[in-house]
Structure 1
Amino acid sequence: MGQSKLLASIVVGATVGAALSMFDRTTREKTIATTKKMKEAISFYASNREELQVLVEEKVLATKVLCESVTENVNTIVEKVDEFKELPSTIEGMINDTKSAFSLPNKE
């Protein structure tokens, strides 16, 4: 019973908020322009389904390329982090080698 009141309240609140926002002239004009553009796009793609299919395929391909690029970047970052993890032991070895080189007794 509580869910139905919540959903109804959300719908009423959204409707009242949208109605109040239409009092602003700029918002009203922008909403009308956006609605006209959407109507034109829907009409165009309804009569040109091939164009819609091409558009969707292009977007899917672009998304696939982006995902591959992100994956490559993440792999590169992981490799660099691994290199940085090894860096302290490398530096420690160099320091120990330097210490031993300078601390060897001189036999003359």
Structure 2
Amino acid sequence: MGQSKLLASIVIGATVGAALSMFDRTTREKTVATTKKVTSAVSYYAANRGELQGLIEEKVLAAQVLCESVTDNVNMVAEKVDEFKELPSTIQGMISDTKSAFSSPSKE
């Protein structure tokens, strides 16, 4: 019972807030312009469903390409991290080799 009052209060508050914001001229003008633009787009795509489907397919394809690219980049970064993990042992080996080369007596 309490939850239904909460939901109703939220809806009423949002409605009152929207109504009060309409007292501002620029807000009204932007709202009307946006509503006209959205209505026009909805009407256009309702009449041209094939074009809407093509647009959606393009966006899905672009998202797939982006996802593949991100996956490739993540894999490359993971490989580089693995290389950096091996780097200290390689450096340690080089230091040991250099140290032994300079510390061993030379035979000349």
Q: What is residue 11 of structure 2 aligned with on the other side?
A: 11
Aligned to 1:104: 104
Q: CA deviation at 1:100?
A: 0.8
- Cα drift, residue 79 of structure 1: 1.0
> What is the aligned length?
108
- 2: CA distance, partners of 1:105 / 1:56: 75
Whichever residue aligns with residue 97 of structure 1, its letter is D
Identify unmatched segments of 5+ residues in structure 2: none
Shift of the alpha carbon at 1:16?
1.7
Q: Percent identity?
A: 81
Tell me the TM-score normalized by structure 1.
Answer: 0.91
* 1:94 matched residue in structure 2: 94
User: 2:77 corresponds to which residue?
Assistant: 77
**1:96, CA displacement in angstroms?**
0.9
Structure 2: distance between partners of 1:24 and 1:90: 69
Once the 2 structures are TM-superposed, how far is the Cα of residue 60 of structure 1 from its aligned partner? Answer: 0.9
Distance across 2 between alignment mates of 1:101 and 1:52: 72
CA distance in 1, matches of 2:79, 2:95: 25
Shift of 1:24: 2.0
The structural deviation recorded for 1:88 is: 1.1
**In the TM superposition, what are the counterparts of 1:51-70 in structure 2 within 5 Å?**
51-70=51-70
Deviation at 1:38, TM superposition (A): 0.6
Instruction: Letter of the 1:10 partner, please give it.
Output: I
Which deviates more from structure 2 when the two are superposed, residues 62-71 or residues 7-16?
A: 7-16
**Partner residue of 1:25?**
25
Deviations 1:20-77 (A, max 9, x none): 2222222211111110011001111111111111111111111111111111111111
Cα separation, 2, equivalents of 1:74 and 1:42: 38
Moved more, 8-17 or 41-50: 8-17
Superposed CA RMSD in Å reads 1.3
Report the TM-score, using the length of structure 2 for normalisation: 0.91
